[in-house]
A and B are shown apart, each in its own frame.
Chain A
């Protein structure tokens, strides 16, 4: 059983399109995250939700909209995709906020052409 699963794993799309990445965790965790990893492998937090409430919202364009229908799911919707959005997006979860272990999904490789 995959602890943190995200779909799709690979996504190639044209500029201007809208796309979503879905994430689910079966660990019973309260906190979920979205991270972006750029081509230089730098991993940066985008959003964090705790019990469906937005806790962290980094300086991310408002074309990116996370949605947490329940604490086991955190989806990422991206409007009007741009070339610079090409990256690997990681969903993650942890038991709570703070320095608990973060469990990452396998990543979603987004390529905007």
Chain B
């Protein structure tokens, strides 16, 4: 059983579309992080959310931490080919643990 369940696992969309990636758990977390991994590179931190209900924006990316601090979502507006990559949610629940990841492909 995964501590963090991400969905969808794969997402293939056209440039300009919107999308949402979900990260869910039955556990409560003190914080949750989102990373993006581009092909051939290591993951890079996008954001850390700490407070229940918190919303953080990073240009066209909007991150939300659930009120109960058990889940989080990442919404991308008007996706671009440069958004293509693997998106990982992770939490330090004793050790840094990641969800299975969402592979996003944005076609021009």
Contact = CB atoms under 8 A, between A and B. Distances in A.
Interface of A: 4, 33, 40-45, 48, 56, 90, 92, 97-99, 101-107
Contact of B48 (A45, A99, A103, A104): A99
B95 A106 contact: no
Nearest to B103: A41
Interface of B: 30-31, 33, 35, 37, 40-45, 48, 86, 88, 90-92, 95-98, 100-101, 103
Contact of B101 (A43, A92, A106, A107): A43
9 contacts: A44-B98, A99-B48, A99-B91, A99-B92, A101-B33, A101-B48, A104-B42, A104-B43, A106-B40
Contacts of B100: 40-42
Contacts of A97: 92
B42 A92 contact: yes
A38 to B, nearest CB: 10
Nearest to B45: A101
A97 B95 CA distance: 8
The 10 closest A-B pairs by CB, nearest first: A104-B42, A99-B92, A99-B31, A43-B98, A41-B101, A101-B45, A104-B43, A56-B95, A90-B42, A106-B42
